[in-house]
Every structure is written in C-alpha cells, then in structure tokens.
Amino acid sequence: MNKVFSHTLFTDFDIDLFKAGKHYRLYEKLGAHLIELNGVKGVYFAVWAPTAQSVSVVGDFNYWTQGEHQLEVRWDSSGIWEGFIPELDKGALYKYKIQSNNGEIATEKSDPFAFYCEKPPHTASVIWDLEHKWKDHNWMENRENHNGLNRPYSVYEVHLGSWKRHISDNRFLTYLEFAEDLVDYVKKMGFTHVEFMPVMEYPYDPSWGYQLVGYFAPTSRFGKPQDFMVLVDKLHQAGIGVILDWVPSHFPDDAHGLGFFDGSNLYEHPDRKKGYHPDWKSLVFNYGRNEVRSFLISNAIFWLQHYHVDGLRVDAVASMLYLDYSRKEGEWEPNIYGGRENLDTISFLKEFNETVYANFKGVQTIAEESTSFPMVSRPTYDGGLGFGMKWMMGWMHDTLDYFQKETVYRKFHQNDLTFSMTYAFTENFMLPLSHDEVVHGKRSIVGRMPGDEWQKFANLRLLYGYMFTHPGTKLLFMGNEFGQSREWNFESSLDWHLNQYPYHEGVKDMVADLNKLYKTQPALYEKQFSPDGFEWINYSDHENAVISFIRKGNNPKEDVIVVCNFTQIVRSNYRIGMSRLGNLTEIFNSDDKKYGGSGVNNPHHLTIEPSPYDGKDYSIELILPPLGTIVLKFS
C-alpha cells in the first residue's frame, strides 16, 4: 500500500469558519472520507490536533504501525493534520497515533468524527459512508404538522439496550429488529414520538449512553449506521417522530476518547474548576473555544441532517449553566460580573438553538433543566436560551411526592398538585416521568403508590389521567406504560410477561386510550403552553381531595372538563360550577372496568343546571369514581 499523499477538502473559507467557531458542518471535512483522487480510490483523513508533534493513521491495513502513514499539518496554524491514503476501503479499522510536542508518549485516539466504531469493548474507528435511500419523504415534507408546539406531543422514552432482549440468551435486539418490534408497539400505543437515550457510541454500559466517545457514530451494539437509519425511516413511515438524547455537557476521560486528545486540554476546559464534573467524574467541554463550539454544533446538525431526527433533548443543561453546580465553596470561581452563571455556556446554547432552528423546519430542541433559570424555552431575540421546550421537573417532583402519600393525608397537601399552575406557562413545559425516576432505589412508579394492589394501580391510572390532561407535552419512560413493578435494570429486558395480568394490561390499554384522547381533543394541545388554554373550576376542595379544571383550544365548543378524585371514596352528587348551559358526555374514565377499575361512571347524558356554584352561574352534578380521573365534553 502506498504512503500518504497530500490532499485537502478544506478551503480557506472553511478554515476561517472553523477558527471563528462558525463551521457547522465540520463532519464534511474532518474525519475519514471515502473519495477518489486522480482516478485512485482511497480515504482522506483530517484531524484537529494543534499541539501534536506528529500524527499517524494506524490500522489493520498497516499492522497498527506508527509512522507508516503519517499526516501533514496544514500551514495555516489551524492545527489540522490531513492526507490521502490510496486503496483503503470501507470497513477498514483505524485510529490516530498522536505524538504530542510536550514529550508525552504517543497515544492512540479514536477519530472524533468517525461515522462508525468497533463494537465495545473494542475501540477502533471504522471507515464508513452515510449512504441510505430514505423512504420518509412524506413525513419530512409534513414534519411541521407533526412536530409543532401546537400539536400533540406524547413521547415514549426508550433505552435500546433494555427495552426488549432475546429471551434465550439475553442478547440485544438489532436496529433492524427494533424497526419491526418497537415501531409496531409504539404505533399501537399511540405515542407521537420516541426519544432514544443516547445512541452515539459509548464505551461503558452502566453509563446508559451518557458518557459518549463517538459523537458522530450510532453505537455498533445494535448494528451498522444504515441499520439505525432504517429504524428512523420506519418510525417516520409509521407517523412517529424521533428525538435523540444529546450530551454536550460532559464526556469521559477514556484513553481513546476526546480527553487530553493531542497532549493538551483540547476539547475540555483547561481549568479543572470548569473542566471537570465532580458528579460523573468526567470532563467538561470548553464552551469558550471556537473550534469546540464548531465541533458540538456540527454534531447537532449532523444528526438532524443525516439521520433525519426531529428533535434533540439536551441532557444536564443545569450542570452546564452554573459554575458552582455540584461544587463546594472554593471549587468554583464567579464570572466576570461576580455571578454563578457560565457565560460561555449561555452563549453556546443560544448559538446552538439559533443554528438548529435556522437550518431545519419542524424540529424541536428540549432542555433537561432542573432549576429556575429564566426563559429557557423562549426565543433568543427575547433574551431566552432558545429551546423549544423544557422538562417540568418541579411538576414531576411535587406530583410524585403527593401520590406517595396515603390518601387520608392528601387533603393536607393539595398545594403540591395545584402549585404547578402558578408557573405552568412561564416555559413551554414537557411533563416527564423519565428513566431517572425509576432507578437508584426510587422504586418503580407503581411501586411508589400507597395502598393494596388495586389502590396502587388505581393511583397509577389516576396519575396518568391527571398528567395527560395537565397543560404541557408528555413523556413516559418505557415500562411505565404497563406499570412495571420493579426498578428499571439496564442489563435486562423490561418485564413484558406482566402484561398477562389484568391490572398491567389495563394500565397499558388506558395509556393507549389517553394518547388517543390527547391526539383527538384539540383542547388538550392547541394551547398547551398558553394560560388561555386552562381555567380552574375548583382547586381548593382540600377536604375531599378533588380538583376540577377546563382545558381550552381554539374552538370553545371543543372545551373539555377534567375532574380528579385523589381518594378511594366515591363522590356521588359532586357538584362543580360551569360557565354556560348545555349537555356533557363523559369521554374518559380511568376507573373503567376495562382498565381494571371498579366501573363507577356517569350517565351518558349530563345536563348543566341554572344553579350557581364555584363562583359560576351554572353547575352540574357528577359521580366521581374512586382514585379516578374523568374527562367530559360538551355534546
């Protein structure tokens, strides 16, 4: 095999953009690219390593020998090493052998821009392409109609390694198997979107994918890059959107990864007070370095462009925003204004969101942000961070705390439920019951519910009924939809066998019906982020532990009325105030016998009476089922 030939894919303009932090498609230049040069097929390599003394491409084609195929550094002080190796083909294994100029021993690094990686625990990069004949044209052309903020948005959060495994040997399913089993299941359940916990290549299974090494490569645990494209393609063809967890907050210090890449703090911040994460013992990106910003924003653009994903859920935003996050006094330094905010991060997140929304129609970015940082999901031109949505962590914590209480004590804690409405419209909130709530001794969601088995599942159905009628979009972690009894275990499949039991099957059927209700009732989604879409009927009936409210859309005739009874006592002749006369029909009842409930329901036709109540001119009498959510509509 011939030595390395001089060649470049970079123009002077590319270099200027890179240095300025404005090159948002670096993956087209850096990395390994199959090309033809002067009639000879081979691979062009380019890697950013500004403090390196030398960079060699080593691989299975040269017996991993340093110096056999040495790259040349560009003359323009960009720190980019590049070259063309003829006769190399798709599938070859490679790494970069980097000799730093500070006397450090040469280290072998995986390609930060590799499109494909060896299956862990192996760590080499694989020469690959991104060719795929997409069949999701209809979805992509109409994506705005599926993915808008005024559309139903019900997300099924999935960890691919443990959603389902082969029974015989606990082996992972493949992307192609997910393209059949998962797609069929999500479509049957009626979720509008799937959110995948990180699919980018990661070395350590217990990290659940949140310690990334191959930012541009879907993990090879489940197949090839094109196999993952098939999965996305099939989901789109089934009318299901795809959200990826994205982790720009930190990365592991594995020897083959980004850490100390060229013998210097290249990707991580050189100040340990900013460059090291004490919670996860990982490294933190240097958001003030232009080339790092280009790397990260290019990575976001890459998944949206080449994998057709519809949204990015940005992990651990709070840890990025605050200089003192999980740090004790003396372990952090204030910003130039004396505050605790990380100004470089704020600038980066704004640029990330602006770039995503400017380049792609009908996509969403979603922040997992657990503090009261203002205007996370407000446009940057109004001073916000620019995200489309933000996880409503306060709602999640308060609601689960409330539901864990014995029903006899709930009347003393009604504010835990109603407090969320005091700030529900300050952000575009998504209501999450995520993987974080079913691990580390927290128990499963149904396992937190008080009472005997019937009451536990009645509480679970009540919780989901309340969640799906509360303003905001929805997210359920896999297994929650059928009431998995044990905590989530990333090393094994969900307990699918539980669906043979009536209570579990009942919850699953109810979640499917809730998804249908959410999608077919405009009042539940058209104004889900606006105070115009919500009105309390009564939030102060503490003694009975009952709340009632109206959800509103664009058409007042489509309004729905929601009443929740948080005790196991049937409330007969329960009266609520109404603003107008008419007839109501019960369109959902979490206590329905088909869900495992007791079957307490209301007559088919209910007439509003000219009798003032709850400060309104009219009222109606209802029967409230035990531990139940009912939804009514004008008929």
Q: Distances from the Cα of 122 to the Cαs of 95, 225, 441, in angstroms? A: 12, 17, 32
d(CA 228, CA 218): 7
Of the CA atoms within 13 Å of residue 316, those in its CB half-sphere come to 19
d(CA 270, CA 278): 15
Catalytic residue of the set 14, 368, 559, 586: 368
Within 10 angstroms of residue 477's Cβ, the number of other Cβ atoms is 25
Of the CA atoms within 13 Å of residue 139, those in its CB half-sphere come to 21
Amino acid, res. 633:
K
Residue 598 structure tokens? 């007791």
d(CA 83, CA 341): 42
Residues 6+ apart with CB under 8 A from 11: none
CA dihedral 402, 490, 125, 113 (to 10 degrees): -10
Q: Under a CB-based contact definition with an 8 Å cutoff, are residues 126 and 116 in contact?
A: yes
331 is catalytic: no
Residues 6+ apart with CB under 8 A from 535: 549, 550, 552
Q: Are strands 571-578 and 583-589 parallel, antiparallel or unpaired?
A: unpaired
368 is catalytic: yes
Q: Tell me how far apart the terminal alpha carbons of the chain are, to the nearest angstrom.
A: 78
Residue 164 structure tokens? 């389902």
Residues 6+ apart with CB under 8 A from 268: 251, 258, 259, 260, 275, 276, 283, 284, 285, 286
Residue written as token pair 């959107």: 241
Q: Which of 621, 613, 27, 10 is nearest to 294 (CA)?
A: 27
Within 10 angstroms of residue 185's Cβ, the number of other Cβ atoms is 18
d(CA 591, CA 586): 12
Catalytic residue of the set 315, 344, 437, 481: 315
Handedness of CA 503, 509, 510, 511 (dihedral sign): positive
- Catalytic residues, by residue number, are 315, 368
